[in-house]
Structure 1
Amino acid sequence: MTQTGNDLPSPDRWGGYRISELTTPRVLARKAEQNGDKVFLRYLPDGTELSYRDLDLQSNRLAHGFSSLGIGHGSHVALLMENSVDQLLSYFALGKLGAVSIPLNTASRGQQLRYLLTHSEASVLIVDAALWEQYAEISADLPLLQQVIVLGELPEQRLAETAQSVEIRAFKTLYPEVSLPPETQVQFSDLAYIIYTSGTTGPSKGVMLSQAQCFLWGLSHAMAFGQRDDDIAYICLPMFHVNALQGATYNALMVNSSIAVQKRFSASGFWSDVRSSGATLTNLLGSMINILWSRPASDDDVNNRLRMCMSAPIPDFGRDFERRFGLRFIQSYSLTDFGPSHAFSLIDPVGKLGSCGRVRKGVHARIVDENDFELPAGARGELVLRHDVPWAHSMGYYKMPDATVKAWRNGWFHTGDCGYVDEDGYFWFLDRTKDAIRRRGENISAYEVEKILLQHPAVQDVAVFAVRSEMAEDEVAAAIVCKAGAQLDQAALIEFCRGEMAYYMVPRFLQVMSDLPRNASQKIEKFKLRDAANADLSQLWDRERAGIKVSR
């Protein structure tokens, strides 16, 4: 059953905007004129506030600062930054120049960080001083990098640790008094972001987002969920992900509302932040909901202004969570690789809670079999998507044309997600057909973890797979075959992983095997490993049980 959103009123307009005018300079100038001194951003750690006018003028100043360093149209700039005012202004300033922002997961390090900086062809890196060590570890092996801009104070002795051929700049010097818009001509079709998502059968892919798509994403959310100009969105998810950036910040901008930003999620501080900011909206991930739910109940739990909370997924105790905290769940099915496609909103029936909702306006969706033939309602298959709105979906994978063609075969984007559509048109997610793991809200490439594990001197072969977690998501498990004569020191292997991959990728469970199960084509049958492990996790070595903690 093909699902189709409502017909479009005009092929070149969307939500009252002409698509060709959806560029960072035009939109921010328009919003500043409309909203003036209305607060757009409040940064909770230090109370900094930016009005819509401030956002436009300060990003103009920073754009001139970047331009003075030679950053211009088409420049690739990577950002290794925690949530901050300067991070968001950097995204918009680079957008005003027609430069390409490359947000990096702040947990990236070692081989993973080297790959991201090299593959993206970044010539400039903006890095928080607190994250400097992650850059310094690989600084001698980044031939394309020409400049590093440091946000925060960095002692001179630490600067000496890096490659001398790279120019080091202080971010605080990049705000000249000139607040006129930069003269660069920016087009709606210009590449605005390369955002890396989990590799599934290979290295992480850089998803290309155009200038227009970022604003269309925001408009789609605002329209699908009935967001208003008096809403305040509380953001504690990282702005290097589309959830917080395109899925919360851009839609607040497009609906003329406000955001309250925290540096990161804190279970102990979450509700006090929500109350003090007056937030009416927020986005949470499954593990965060479990953590909040597990805290002692209080009569004060309902003392908040939240009217909706976006969750992925909505837990089995979703209705009880809603009653306890006095809010309503909504759900968005959105992919970095494509954009938003489905929405479960406040007007949808409670009986459909837990579904991804119905297809959005302008989107077509199908459930297909392994040969791309459409399946009837209720049948399990892969979700495929396409869009009627020009520039509303991503532009493909950077420097990976084969992967782009494969994902878009037969004219539909293949999500790699398995599910079904019920008779009422609601999509229900079941599992992933791709070899990816989701842990603590992060998508993890089994391939990338395996690639690093294989470099350990004791490891001959390895298979990485997901097992059930106490937090309603996944834990990372690895089945390992040792080299002849070698013995595996599990604790030493974990220490090795800590230096070469993000903390959330480090396996929790390890299993040493004489060989891995394979089919007739010699492909590893991970489902057998997964099923056996889930049946009895006690048979696997558990780093948490061993008292080894891995954190950021």
Structure 2
Amino acid sequence: MITGNDRWFGHQVRSLTTRDVLRERADRLGNKVFLDYLPDGRKFSYQDIDTQSSRIAHGFVALGVGRGSHVAVLMDNSPEQLLTYFALGKIGALAVPLNTASRGRSLQYLLDHSDATTLVIDYSLMPSYLEVAAQIPAIKSLIVLGGQLSGLESVPFQQERVCFETLYAQDDVAPDVDVVFDDPAYIIYTSGTTGPSKGVVLTQAQCFLWGLSHAQAFGQRPDDVAYICLPMFHTNALQGATYNALMVGASIALQRRFSASNFWNDVRASGATLTNLLGSMVNILWAATPAETDSRNQLRMCMSAPIPSFGTAFEQRFGLRFIQSYSLTDFGPTHAYSLIDPLGKLGSCGRPRIGIEARIVDDKDFPLPPGQRGELVVRHSMPWAHSQGYYKMPDATAKAWRNGWFHTGDIGLIDEDGYFWFLDRVKDAIRRRGENISAYEVEQVLLAHPAVRDAAVFAVKSSMSEDEVAAALVLKPGHKLDHVEMIRHCQDLMAYYMVPRYLMVMDDLPRNSSQKVEKFKLREQINVDGLWDREQAGIVVKRR
């Protein structure tokens, strides 16, 4: 419960800074393992996390990174990635986590829009950066993890280049920087819907409040071990799994990425009691051949969004219980379905969390009664417990927060018992295998092709319960569509998961009287069986 005007579950909001929280955790929990990195067996105690992030923080300061600096991070899951986030927090710098699949125009936009002056990057991801480096002169320092800097001698750019390992200074006490709870800590990019991707600003306090909210909503305990295989450049794994483990005094077992063949072995070996999955991952695990070992694990709860129609059967087969969180990078966590909620509400997003007000409204923002479909809007009674708007996008921030409520862009209903049921999206976004894809950004790449006059990108349903990307193209006079060449064009300029699966050619796109494309007509009228399908054509788009 909330007591006083700045307390949250007994924690003083004003004390929620990276430096103070890590120091308190280290003092209280010391040698207890916080991070077990499964790929190489390294283990980090709470004391290790505090001292090593302080050493790296001094290394950043020596490079000229300080309070208010923007540092882009292009890294796969690793201890160094998390230590980088914490080190930047200790000196009041802003971390800008980037999707490791970003490339081409998308990566260029993210680096440019975020005003990053330093980039921390895995050596294996350097090819993606080098494709756009000449267009990002603001990047002055390059910090590379793994590989050899000698391999970059021929690169014709003038950034200062250092090995990540050289960041570790001797001083393991946090730098003396005046960091406060409402300092921005992250700019995390969410997919653009009707325009470019938006950078959401999270304060230092909000990250810890997010973790505390999860711990309270789901009854997480100090003896829990959270298995994390989702990427930590997203809030799901970072704020929704790592920070809550930190705040409850639990442990995390970190894997580089999801692997269906290794998932249950990892869970058993790590002693995991919690994990977060996406709908497509649940489907993949469910589709595997049943084995007598399926239920031999210690998982007591598994967060999934969405919970599938076969949720109860999945629970019985694997010996666990589903929970669900409704959370938005744009705002924070708002609803929770936990182990104490009725089984009859399985599949809902649960009820509002402590401090959250939620309602369903019509298109004029007037509240609707229980059971009626409309847009979910939310607000928080606690200051600094939600995100602080979109970076350099005041109009988008004002629109999202109109009339004193944050507009989620999601359609649903609230039943008589106060449970929220998600139904659809207002936003023009596509959700494919856990990634939110901006239709606008895919369209911009398609429009850059010399044969394309107009393009509309939209979602079609897939067998994995989420979406696949389809593109309707209007060609310029005298041009024909070479499907394979178009896919190669897309693959060179966007993340692998954004590349359209289905392509079609139209004489013109359906439009309303305002000349806006009516994508709902495309979604409703198009039969995917009649579209060119790159998977049927045998074209594999690989992660690079």
Shared fold, TM over 0.5: yes
User: For residues 522 and 432 of structure 2, what CA distance do their matches in structure 1 show?
Assistant: 18
**Cα shift at 1:399:** 0.2
Q: What are the residue-to-residue correspondences of 1:224-243 with 2, within 5 Å? A: 224-243=217-236
Give SS of 2:260's match. Answer: coil
- Is 2:249 the partner of 1:252? no
Letter in 2 for 1:544: E
Match of 1:357 among 337, 350, 353: 350
Match of 1:379 among 368, 372, 384: 372
Higher relative contact order (CA 8 A, sep 6+): 1
Letter in 1 for 2:462: S
1:68 corresponds in structure 2 to 62
Deviations 1:276-310 (A, max 9, x none): 00000000000000000000000100000000000
- Is 2:36 the partner of 1:54? no
**Any conservation in 2 of the 1:136–1:162 contact (CA below 8 Å)?**
no
1:287 corresponds in structure 2 to 280
2:468 corresponds in structure 1 to 475
- Is 2:212 the partner of 1:219? yes
- Is 2:23 the partner of 1:32? no
**Any conservation in 1 of the 2:149–2:162 contact (CA below 8 Å)?**
no
Give SS of 1:268's match. Answer: helix
2:76 corresponds in structure 1 to 82
1:3 corresponds in structure 2 to none
Give SS of 2:261's match. Answer: coil
Worse-matched range after superposition: 413-422 or 9-18? 9-18
**Cα shift at 1:162:** 4.3
User: For residues 37 and 156 of structure 1, what CA distance do their matches in structure 2 show?
Assistant: 37
Deviations 1:26-68 (A, max 9, x none): 0000000110100000000000000001111011101011111
- Is 2:144 the partner of 1:174? no
1:94 corresponds in structure 2 to 88
- Is 2:121 the partner of 1:127? yes
**Any conservation in 2 of the 1:139–1:162 contact (CA below 8 Å)?**
no
Residues 278, 67 of structure 1: alpha-carbon distance in 2 compared, 3 angstrom cutoff: same
1:22 corresponds in structure 2 to 16
1:545 corresponds in structure 2 to 536
User: For residues 24 and 151 of structure 2, what CA distance do their matches in structure 1 show?
Assistant: 45
Match of 1:406 among 383, 399, 408: 399
Give SS of 1:347's match. Answer: coil
**Any conservation in 1 of the 2:75–2:120 contact (CA below 8 Å)?**
yes
1:488 corresponds in structure 2 to 481
Residues 469, 29 of structure 1: alpha-carbon distance in 2 compared, 3 angstrom cutoff: same
**Any conservation in 2 of the 1:252–1:259 contact (CA below 8 Å)?**
yes
1:141 corresponds in structure 2 to 135
**Any conservation in 1 of the 2:193–2:429 contact (CA below 8 Å)?**
yes
Match of 1:10 among 4, 7, 20: 4
**Cα shift at 1:157:** 4.0
Give SS of 1:391's match. Answer: coil
User: For residues 532 and 255 of structure 1, what CA distance do their matches in structure 2 show?
Assistant: 50
**Cα shift at 1:177:** 1.6
2:99 corresponds in structure 1 to 105
Give SS of 2:470's match. Answer: strand
Q: What are the residue-to-residue correspondences of 1:425-444 with 2, within 5 Å? A: 425-444=418-437
Letter in 1 for 2:46: Y
**Cα shift at 1:396:** 0.3
**Any conservation in 2 of the 1:465–1:477 contact (CA below 8 Å)?**
yes
Query: Can you give the 5+ residue segments of structure 1 that lack an aligned partner in the other structure?
Result: 1-5
Give SS of 1:269's match. Answer: helix
**Cα shift at 1:320:** 0.4
**Cα shift at 1:155:** 5.7
- Is 2:305 the partner of 1:307? no
**Any conservation in 2 of the 1:72–1:99 contact (CA below 8 Å)?**
yes
Deviations 1:408-433 (A, max 9, x none): 00010000000000001100000000
How many pairs does the alignment contain? 543
| TM-score of the pair, normalised by structure 2 | 0.99
User: For residues 150 and 47 of structure 2, what CA distance do their matches in structure 1 show?
Assistant: 37
1:529 corresponds in structure 2 to 522
User: For residues 295 and 4 of structure 2, what CA distance do their matches in structure 1 show?
Assistant: 43
User: For residues 353 and 179 of structure 2, what CA distance do their matches in structure 1 show?
Assistant: 28
1:417 corresponds in structure 2 to 410
**Cα shift at 1:521:** 1.6
User: For residues 482 and 327 of structure 2, what CA distance do their matches in structure 1 show?
Assistant: 40
**Any conservation in 1 of the 2:149–2:163 contact (CA below 8 Å)?**
no
Once the two structures are aligned, what percentage of the paired residues are identical?
67
**Any conservation in 2 of the 1:508–1:542 contact (CA below 8 Å)?**
yes
- Is 2:512 the partner of 1:514? no
User: For residues 176 and 358 of structure 1, what CA distance do their matches in structure 2 show?
Assistant: 47
**Cα shift at 1:532:** 1.8
Q: What are the residue-to-residue correspondences of 1:255-266 with 2, within 5 Å? A: 255-266=248-259
Give SS of 1:196's match. Answer: strand
